[in-house]
Amino acid sequence: MAPALDIETGIPLVVDLDGTLTVTDTLYESFARLLFHDPSAALASLAQIVRGPAAAKRYVAERCRLDVATLPYRTELVDLVKAEKARGRPIHLVTAADQSIADLVAGEFGLFDSTTGSNGTHNLKGPNKLQHLRERFPGGFIYAGDGKADLPVFRAARGVVLCDVSGATEAAVAGPGVLASLRRPASGFRAWTRAFRLHQWAKNLLLFVPLLVGHGYSYPRAIAAALVGFMLLCVLSSATYIINDLADLDADRQHATKRQRPFASGDIKILHGLIVAPLMIAGTLVGALALSPPFAAALFSYLLLTSGYSFGLKRVPLLDVFIIGVLFTLRIVMGAEVASLAHSPWLLSFALAFFISLALSKRHGEVMRAARIDVDEIVGRGYRGNDWPITLSFGIGIGLVSVVIMLLYMTNDAAPSGFYRQPGWLYAIPALLTLWLMRIWLLSNRMLLHDDPVVFALRDRFSLLLGVAVAIAFSLAL
């Protein structure tokens, strides 16, 4: 039970929305959704800023219906509001967000005696909000807010509830009027490292595969170029993960574990993601162009494809896993380009088939779980529970195709090349690969493959053991 506010119950409690009742900002939430579903309308909304903030908010709100049920709310404040409502205190929602957004949120809770937001011409923020509150509540009010813009309102209120305010703002309103101070645990640096998904950088090690199989590891310049290319790819991939998270907000918030992601949970502001991701992308493309124009072209192709994936292609069944396979294969293309090595059609064909199979293994597990709980369609994916025979047959079949391609390569190319003194050891690699794929698909069909298969392989003891065996076989072949 939330503690009661130590002030007479006849004084109304006025609650702000953005950053207060919800830990996110509904304007940027709406803009992010509009950006991924109707980019032209999102860009057009920026032109509305010249007409004023209220006009821009109305423009975005009219074109994007926000799913307020999934927003990350400040649970401590919600409990406090419910407690005060039970004590008989009048509760009002007054926000600079558009009126339509405020009405949706108020309807979600059913706690507010009135709801007031910006009306398309009048932005209800700072002094404008204070003027409205003085006219609406001449006997005084309690105010729950979160930022520097609320200072005029804080100073005029009979009591305040502070929500994650800065130290300067807290000092400016310190005193007996502070009835409660609600603060979420700080998660800045740690939240950003989660948003960057540093553990996913392991996938980018594929960039070094051409250096290994092309026997370019004896050239220091090629190794140095590959290392720089690897770091640029890691930064770009982290930027695309941010974009993907922003595009997946609603779906992530309905997922058992993904709802804890930094943007979905509100640990990082949506606006910061909208700013940081483009800056990271611009920086990596400039660096790649300086390193190697062909590498920059491959990196740009990776960006275009992953952006298309985030903007909607991921919702097209089977095309989504094909794109994932292409993205993995592009990492190998980048490795050859940055190290100035010739491309191997065998390697690229194998990689495409192999990674499509792995992408399908992850999707198959999701489809099986949907079938188990009788879900018609997986949110944000386009797959249905009864699609499991398709994902199973395509996934296993394409996986076996990748093994056949590897065998043909070893027979027709690797063994006769003269690079290997004992080429017979190479045939242990497709055998071990087949064993690993069998394990992956068994776990997927049993709904036990909870991670990305590549990340799973780096954490799974049996997979690591097979990886060591592959390395030994390759060494013996040399």
pLDDT digits (tens, 9 = 90+) for 56-97: 999 999 998 889 999 999 999 999 999 999 999 999 999 999
Same domain, 163 and 28: yes
Same domain, 70 and 135: yes
Q: Is 75 helix (H, G, I), strand (E, B) or coil?
A: helix
Same domain, 61 and 203: no
Q: Kindly state the helix (H) or strand (E) to which residue 286 belongs, with its residue range.
A: helix 270-291
At residue 204's C-alpha, the angle toward residues 395 and 418, to 5°, is: 80
**For residues 208 and 189, is the Cβ–Cβ distance under 8 A?**
no
Question: CA 260, CA 274: separation in Å to the nearest integer?
Answer: 19
Residue of 472, 452, 470, 460 whose CA lies nearest to 203: 452
Contacts of 442 (CB under 8 A, 6+ apart): none
Residue 190 lies in a domain: no
Residue 4 lies in a domain: no
Question: CA 147, CA 81: separation in Å to the nearest integer?
Answer: 19
Q: Which amino acid would we find at residue 446?
A: R
Question: CA 97, CA 18: separation in Å to the nearest integer?
Answer: 7
Tell which of 142, 157, 182 closes a domain: 182
Same domain, 123 and 243: no
Same domain, 403 and 309: yes
Tell which of 134, 155, 182 closes a domain: 182
Residue 162 lies in a domain: yes
Same domain, 136 and 212: no
Q: What is the mean pLDDT of residues 176-202?
A: 88
Residue 188 lies in a domain: no
Question: CA 295, CA 334: separation in Å to the nearest integer?
Answer: 6
Residue 29 lies in a domain: yes
CATH number of the domain residue 466 falls in = 1.10.600
| End-to-end C-alpha distance for the chain, whole angstroms | 69
Contacts of 399 (CB under 8 A, 6+ apart): 353, 354, 357, 358, 361, 437, 441
Same domain, 351 and 437: yes
Same domain, 163 and 277: no
Residue 442 has pLDDT above 70, yes or no: yes
Burial of 192-208, coded b for 16+ CB within 10 Å and e otherwise, reads bebbbbeeebebbebbb
Q: What is the mean pLDDT of residues 124-138?
A: 94
Residue 379 has pLDDT above 80, yes or no: no
Q: Which amino acid would we find at residue 258?
A: K
Q: How confident is the model over 394-427, as pLDDT tens digits?
A: 999 999 999 999 999 888 877 777 777 888 898 9
Domain count, the chain: 2
Q: How many CB atoms lie within 10 A of CB 244?
A: 21
Same domain, 173 and 232: no
Q: Kindly state the helix (H) or strand (E) to which residue 118 belongs, with its residue range.
A: strand 114-118
Domain with 178, as residue range(s), is 13-182
Same domain, 162 and 211: no
Residue 79 lies in a domain: yes
Residue 5 lies in a domain: no
Tokens of 66: 């926000």
Q: Which amino acid would we find at residue 261?
A: R
**For residues 95 and 117, is the Cβ–Cβ distance under 8 A?**
yes
Q: Kindly state the helix (H) or strand (E) to which residue 163 belongs, with its residue range.
A: strand 159-163
**For residues 396 and 434, is the Cβ–Cβ distance under 8 A?**
no
Question: CA 196, CA 82: separation in Å to the nearest integer?
Answer: 37
Same domain, 214 and 169: no
Q: Within the chain, what is the greatest distance between any pair of CA atoms?
A: 92
Residue 232 has pLDDT above 90, yes or no: yes
Residue 30 lies in a domain: yes
pLDDT reported for residue 410: 86
Q: What is the mean pLDDT of residues 143-162?
A: 92
CATH number of the domain residue 29 falls in = 3.40.50.1000
Tell which of 150, 182, 214 closes a domain: 182
Mean pLDDT, the chain, rounded, equals: 90
Same domain, 329 and 434: yes
Place of tokens 């309308």: 41
The packing angle between helices 53-63 and 99-109, to 10°, is 60
Provide the percentage of residues in the chain whose pLDDT is more than 70: 99
